[in-house]
Structure 1
Amino acid sequence: MDKYPYTPGHRGIETSIAAAIDINPKLGRLQRVSEAAIRDAGTQGLTADELAAKLGQDRCSIQPRTSELKRLGIIIDSGLRRSNWTGKSAIVWIIAPMLNSGESPSQ
């Protein structure tokens, strides 16, 4: 499992590759704490900005984790929107319903 979303993604640009290499050792932990925080939020969910604030992390470190968790089938777009720090509409993430029922995303 050496490909996205199991490893950090990058765009083939030197700085993007360097950032992916830098975050790689922390990836699993950040995914786990992100999942736990979104699970704790229940049906209210969290935006990427709210998630970063809740975890005390920089948004740039957390937002990609939401993309990875979505790709893994762990979280889904709730259909709700709340304003982000720029005032624009942001996705509110929730745990995938099948995970709330105890199923695995691979089932």
Structure 2
Amino acid sequence: MRASAAGGYSSPGAIYPNTAGFKGSAETGREAAEAINAKLGPLQSLVLRKLRERGPYGLTPEECAELAGLGRVSLQPRFSELKAKGLIADSGKRRVNSSSRKRAVVWVIRDLAPEQKGVEI
């Protein structure tokens, strides 16, 4: 296992965020990460495409999953990977998820993110 800067792990020979990561030492997380790796590129591209379509309005992971017709569990980790790659950023906005009624980060393509004084996004 290889520790990532994001606090998770990658399988041997794999480097997060170019491959799916996992947290903890349970083999189920590692197995799930390895299983999704074949679909990782297309899923990351899907998230980027949906974010570009929404422009500055952005998307929460739940909204993206609903638009794509996929489960949130498949797409939410892609947001962390794309953030780690520097391709997307927190818009500074929050919206309530319909499933939980809790506030969620609204993500945008990095070029559309607000500049934060003294902080690199």
- Larger of the two Rg values belongs to structure: 2
Compute the TM-score of the two structures, normalised by the length of structure 1: 0.87
Aligned length in residues: 98
- 1:87 pairs with 2:101: yes
The alpha-carbon deviation at position 59 of structure 1 amounts to 0.4
Give 1:71's aligned amino acid. Answer: A
SS at match of 1:31: helix
Correspondence for 2:41: 28
Deviations 1:38-96 (A, max 9, x none): 01100000000000111111101100000000111110000000011201110000001
Structure 1's consecutive aligned runs of 4 or more residues displaced over 6 angstroms after TM superposition are: none
Name the structure with the higher helix share.
Answer: 1
Consecutive unaligned residues in structure 1, runs of 5 or more: 99-107
- Aligned-pair identity in percent equals 46
Q: What are structure 2's unaligned runs of at least 5 residues?
A: 1-12, 113-121
Counterparts of 1:95-106 in structure 2, within 5 Å, are 95-97=109-111
Q: CA deviation at 1:2?
A: 2.5
Give matches, 1:45-64, under 5 Å. Answer: 45-64=58-77
Specify which structure has the bigger relative contact order, considering alpha-carbon pairs within 8 angstroms and separated by 6 or more residues.
1
